[in-house]
Every structure is written in structure tokens, then in C-alpha cells.
Amino acid sequence: MNYSDKFRVKPGNKVNLDKIDAGFKDKYESHEHALPEIQKYDQSMHDLQYLMYAEGKQSLLIVLQGRDAAGKDGTINHVLSSMNPQGCRVSGFKVPTKEEAGHDFLWRYHKETPTNGFVSIFNRSHYEDVLVQRVHNLAPKKIIKKRYEHINNFEKLLYEDNNTHILKFYLHIDAKEELIRFKQRIDDPARNWKISDADYAERPYWGDYTKAFELAIEKCSTDHAPWFIIPSNHKWFRNLAISQIVSDKLASLGMKFPEPTIDIDEIKKKYSDTVKSETKKKSKSKK
């Protein structure tokens, strides 16, 4: 199945998250069943990211959004494990600092976007300013309404002026799965650090966040910066779907290795002459 087509939100389409099965896993019965496909796309991501880094003419921005415990950190670990960290960067966004709050809302995000040849991953993103601020009334509605247009123009600028390709993933889990993951964080000492009062404090706003996510996805899924709604109750299926989408996108970019800056035949000749010379020296020393 082509997940780029299945999970992509086409421009202008309405979104109803309650009607999307967060537990969808396609034909796969388990992680073990899906593993060969996951490994295939992981290798593809590895090879294509190396090609992007070598070519140095294009870049990729991966945006991850989702509710608490949706799996943003796990997705980052999976994607990065398939790529060379030398050509990747992860940026996380929490409450704005005093300096960041003193600028326009896009300022802190713009400076973290990838340079040519690189892959950047946003753990949360510029969409926080039409999600959290909308749900908790932290900005006037007329300001938030304008921000959708600002976001679309920002992403268009990255794509048209800097050859930055953008993939945006909403990691879709249901309310029951979120509670299961909260409990895992409480019960597992290695995950205790991940749980906070805010996780449970946001639960009463589930419906408000649903509406905010739906609006953001509807208003900001474009041809050059599409949104994908990824069923994420099964972590392994989430990884499979995202790996395929990222791999397919990279493969579509027509990337090529740059031409060598030196004469390869001349280097081969010099190398051959050097080997012959050193072989003669070793032969004489043995005598």
C-alpha cells in the first residue's frame, strides 16, 4: 500500500480525527510481520539521505506534531537511527524564552530550518502557535486566524527559495492509548522522567485540541508542504508508514552525486605508481 497517498491530507479536504482509526495496521499482524518492510525502507532512507548530503542542493524538513505520548521522541529515534547524524539535526520547541517571545512567532523556527544537504526534524513546531494558544486562549482569535496564512507563506518561502521539502506528520493516537502510555511512564522507572502534571492537566481539553489539530491540518496542508495523519497506536506501524513516506519523498527528488573535483584517472595512476614504489622498497629491505 502507498502510504503517501493513503495518509496524505489533500488541500481543501476536511479532517475528522474521530473517524480515523488510530489502531490501523494495514495487512500486518505484528511488528515481526512488518519488520522486513521496515528494514527495507530504513536502508532506503539511509542511502538517500547520504545522497542528499553529498549533493548539497536540497534539504528536508520533517515536522512532528501530536498529543502527549503520541510518539514524537520514538519517531525521531527511528528516523535518526537510519540516517547519518552528521547530516541531520533535531530541534525541540517548548515555552518561548523572553527573547523568542519578543520576536514574531516564526522567528525561533526559521533559524532552525535545514541548510542545503541536511535533514531537520522539528519535535513540535510552528504549529504550536495555532494549537496551544488557540486551546488556552493565549492570543486573540483574529491573530491566530492570520497565523495560518503566515505559516503557509513561511513554508512556501522555504520550498521555493531554498529547495526545502517539507513533510508534516500528525501522530494519531486515541484517548485510551494515551492513558496506557501515561501509565507505562508511571510504572517504568526509566520513563518516569517523561511524565508530568501537565500531561493529565491537558486531558480535559481533548476535544478542544482535536478541533485545533483538525483546523491546522485543513488550513495548512498544501501540495509543497503536505500533512499526513499517521495511525500511531501501534508504534511499529507508525515507523513503517513514516519510513515509507520519507523514503518515497527522497527518492522523488532526482538527486545525483556531484561530479568529482579532481581527475579520477590521474589519481588512480598516482596511487598505482605509489603502490609500485612502496612495494619495491619493501622488497629491497627484505633482501
Predicted pLDDT of residue 260: 84
* CA proximity to 216, closest of 4, 65, 61: 65
pLDDT in tens, 198-250: 777 888 999 999 999 999 999 999 999 999 999 999 999 999 999 999 999 99
pLDDT for 283: 63
pLDDT higher than 70, residue 284 = no
Split at pLDDT 50, 70, 90, the class of 275 is low
pLDDT tens-digit profile of 136-156?
988 898 999 999 999 999 999
Q: Is position 61 within any domain?
A: yes
The CATH number assigned to the domain holding 106 equals: 3.40.50.300
Q: What pLDDT score does 282 carry? A: 63
Number of domains in the chain: 1
Give yes or no for a contact between 103 and 209, defined as CB atoms under 8 angstroms apart: no
Question: In 3-state terms, what secondary structure has residue 4?
Answer: helix
Q: Give Cα separations from 164 to 61, 114, 119, 255 (angstroms).
A: 7, 7, 9, 13
Query: Model-level pTM greater than 0.85?
Result: yes
In a domain, 226, yes or no: yes
Hey, is 121 helix, strand or coil?
strand
What Cα–Cα distance (Å) separates residue 163 from each residue in 110, 225, 246, 252? 14, 12, 16, 13
Residues in CB range of 156: below 8 A, 6 or more apart:
222, 224, 225
Q: Decide: 228 and 248 in contact? Cβ < 8 Å.
A: no
pLDDT at 278 exceeding the cut of 70: no
Return the half-sphere exposure (C-beta side, CA atoms, 13 A cut-off) of residue 90.
17
In a domain, 15, yes or no: yes
Instruction: Provide the pLDDT for residue 277.
Output: 67
Residue 276 lies in a domain: no
Q: Which helix (H) or strand (E) holds 93?
A: none
Q: For the chain, first and last CA: distance in Å? A: 67
Residue with cell 500486518: 28
- Whether 269 maps to a domain, the answer reads no
Residue 285 lies in a domain: no
Q: Considering the domain boundaries, does residue 151 fall inside one?
A: yes
pLDDT(15) > 70: yes
List C-alpha distances in Å: 9 to 4, 20, 106, 168, 216. 10, 12, 23, 10, 11
CA dihedral 271, 277, 282, 286 (to 10 degrees): 160
Task: Tell me the average pLDDT of the chain.
Answer: 92
- Domain holding 67, by residue range, is 3-262
Report long-range pairs for 188-196 (Cβ below 8 Å, ≥24 apart): 194/69
Asked whether residue 86 is domain-assigned, the answer is: yes
Question: pLDDT over 90 for what percent of the chain?
Answer: 78
State pLDDT tens for residues 82-116: 999 899 999 999 888 999 999 999 999 999 999 99
